[in-house]
Structure 1
Amino acid sequence: MLAGIRWAFLSAADRVLEDYSEAAGHDATWVGVTRFTLFRDRLDRVFSCRRYAVAEGTDGQTSLDLLHAELTERDITTLPALDPELVGRADLSGSPGWSHEGTRWLLASSAFGKLDEVPWPQKSTTKQRVAQQPTDEPDPPTLFDHFTSDEQAGLATLMAGSKLDLHTLVVGHSLDAERGGRELVIGQPRLNSGGGSAWYWKHDLLQTPPADGGRLRPSAPMPVSPDTTPDAPVKLRRPAAEQPNHGQVGQ
């Protein structure tokens, strides 16, 4: 599934860079809108969603013609072959979304090099709701710890009213049209109203694959204390030439 997201982004970014022309009047707005549109289209292709859904009784060649339309040879060669039932569309309040095993992801663009500083309070209401989800990590201290238990219960009820139907992540992406730089991450956004990191956790899908078999969960922190577990006993085997000669057996 993550390979499908990566393929969709790279295909979209390649097409944007191929078509981009400052002389033709293309600017940052054109780059952003075109990248988003093509990224959404490629995600639907690789996951067989919407107009690329595989309908029963459809001619196979016709489906391939639609799937491969306007793709480069490289796109077609690297297109992951995924189960059409693996991922489904799961839009949220008009924002395009896809879901797998109860986890949804939306798309969010950023200025190149600024993914760590995405200002979620300035994004759409939908993205702000996603960034307000409880974190997957252990409960951190909050601004409401000094409230009474009744006040905290009332706040919990209020927040439950806006709870999302699916646990929702965000795929953040950016592109430097002048130099060809690209960024692609998936993670859980953090509503950084008071500053700080824009993510509770995220994985770089272009550099290092997520740990634990690609599961969408926070990275495990590295241990900070020495490992006191004793090493298992190990016996070193000497090369055959150094083995003592105890006589020949079997002759």
Structure 2
Amino acid sequence: MTAETDAINSLRASGLIDVLTWAAPVAFMATDELYDEDQGHGQGFVGYVNFTHYKDLVDRATSNGRFKLGDGLDGLGEDVLKRGITPGAFGSMPRLPAGAVVRRDFEQSPGWAIEGYRVLLQSYPFGKIDKIKWGQRSDAKKHVADQLFLEDGSLFTKEELGLEVIPGIPNDDFDGVTLIAAHAFNPTTKQFELYLGQSKNPAYADDSCWHWKILLLAGGTPAGGPGLPAAPTMPSRGASPDVEDVPVRIKPAGAGEGSGVTGG
């Protein structure tokens, strides 16, 4: 089993992939509602607002962050979970048991973890998934991209190297591999995409910035066709309107781009 397949299978079984693919278009819709080029909004606005909405939605579906359960509570009331999203978005939200996915932040970068894997978020300009310079993002993302990765077909196994598990990030107490959920949205064309993968710092100019990555979600057209549905008025403190009719393309498990994928 490849590193990519093992990661995808584990995250899918936990329900975290369902949460990520639900939350992404909901977040993009919310950003689209707020984006106004005439107010000077640009890529920085899109990246920050997408990130803020996305983080809140993942916390909402996994009972973390401001939706974390207090002692003695089995779950939050629907009135709390419904605040800020439309009935359609709430109705399609995956319902993960509390504790199935936990918050494990790294250097102030929000992360969500299951046994063996943690996922951090990263925005990027649409269409430039292979052009991310992790060292220019943050110290956290640079350190994540420095993780040891044993490629499939490597001359040595982790056992031969004297490793019980693949070591994670130095000076981090998380025992597992940290992955990146990279998301992009173009409010002009309504194109969007979501990738999941293990990042790396390129060793040379033409090297990839990923050990592997898989496209989880994509939609929209270059001509600005129907990428996101026409949105009703956002609820106050909203995270998104209804996204039930969002046209998306979801690749099946194991349909990734392979280990050692190069840019292009």
State the TM-score, normalizing by the size of structure 2.
0.68
- Determine the C-alpha separation between the residues in 2 that align with 1:193 and 1:95: 24
- Determine the C-alpha separation between the residues in 2 that align with 1:161 and 1:169: 11
- Determine the C-alpha separation between the residues in 2 that align with 1:50 and 1:160: 24
> Which residue of 81, 86, 105 corresponds with 1:72?
86
Q: Is the 8 A contact 2:147 2:169 kept in 1?
A: no
- Determine the C-alpha separation between the residues in 2 that align with 1:160 and 1:77: 37
Partner residue, 1:105: 119
Q: Which amino acid aligns with 1:198?
A: C
Q: Is the 8 A contact 1:121 1:192 kept in 2?
A: no
Q: Is the 8 A contact 2:59 2:67 kept in 1?
A: yes
State the superposition RMSD in angstroms: 3.0
Q: Cα distance, 1:13 vs. partner? A: 0.6
> Which residue of 183, 192, 213 corresponds with 1:182?
192
**Structure 2 SS opposite 1:174:** strand
* Cα distance change of structure 1 residues 121 and 7 upon mapping to structure 2, 3 Å threshold: same
Q: Is the 8 A contact 1:105 1:169 kept in 2?
A: yes
- Determine the C-alpha separation between the residues in 2 that align with 1:203 and 1:210: 9
- Determine the C-alpha separation between the residues in 1 that align with 2:259 and 2:201: 22
Partner residue, 2:216: 205
- Determine the C-alpha separation between the residues in 2 that align with 1:113 and 1:161: 28
Residue 49 (structure 1) aligned with residue 64 (structure 2): yes
Q: Is the 8 A contact 1:190 1:197 kept in 2?
A: yes
Q: Cα distance, 1:16 vs. partner? A: 0.6
Question: What are the within-5 Å matches in structure 2 for residues 98-247 of structure 1?
Answer: 98-138=112-152, 162=170, 164=172, 165=174, 166-195=176-205, 196-206=207-217, 207-211=250-254, 219=258
Gaps of 5+ in 1: 142-158, 222-251
Please say which structure displays the higher CA radius of gyration: 1
- Determine the C-alpha separation between the residues in 1 that align with 2:178 and 2:259: 20
Partner residue, 1:86: 100
Runs of 4+ residues deviating >6 angstroms: none
State the TM-score, normalizing by the size of structure 1.
0.71
Q: Cα distance, 1:172 vs. partner? A: 0.7
* Cα distance change of structure 1 residues 167 and 176 upon mapping to structure 2, 3 Å threshold: same
Q: Is the 8 A contact 2:151 2:259 kept in 1?
A: no
Q: Cα distance, 1:125 vs. partner? A: 1.3
Q: Cα distance, 1:106 vs. partner? A: 0.8
Question: What are the within-5 Å matches in structure 2 for residues 1-12 of structure 1?
Answer: 1-12=16-27
* Cα distance change of structure 1 residues 137 and 5 upon mapping to structure 2, 3 Å threshold: same
- Determine the C-alpha separation between the residues in 2 that align with 1:160 and 1:79: 31
Q: Cα distance, 1:140 vs. partner? A: 5.7
Equivalenced residue count is 201
Q: Residues 120-140 of structure 1, C-alpha deviation per residue, up to 9 Å, x if partnerless?
A: 222211111111111142376
- Determine the C-alpha separation between the residues in 1 that align with 2:38 and 2:169: 50
Q: Cα distance, 1:188 vs. partner? A: 0.5
| Structure in which a larger fraction of residues adopt helix | 1
- Between the two structures, name the one with larger relative contact order (CA 8 Å, sep ≥ 6): 2
- Determine the C-alpha separation between the residues in 1 that align with 2:87 and 2:118: 30
Partner residue, 1:24: 39
- Determine the C-alpha separation between the residues in 2 that align with 1:139 and 1:31: 40
**Structure 1 SS opposite 2:202:** coil
- Determine the C-alpha separation between the residues in 1 that align with 2:55 and 2:42: 20
- Determine the C-alpha separation between the residues in 1 that align with 2:168 and 2:93: 40
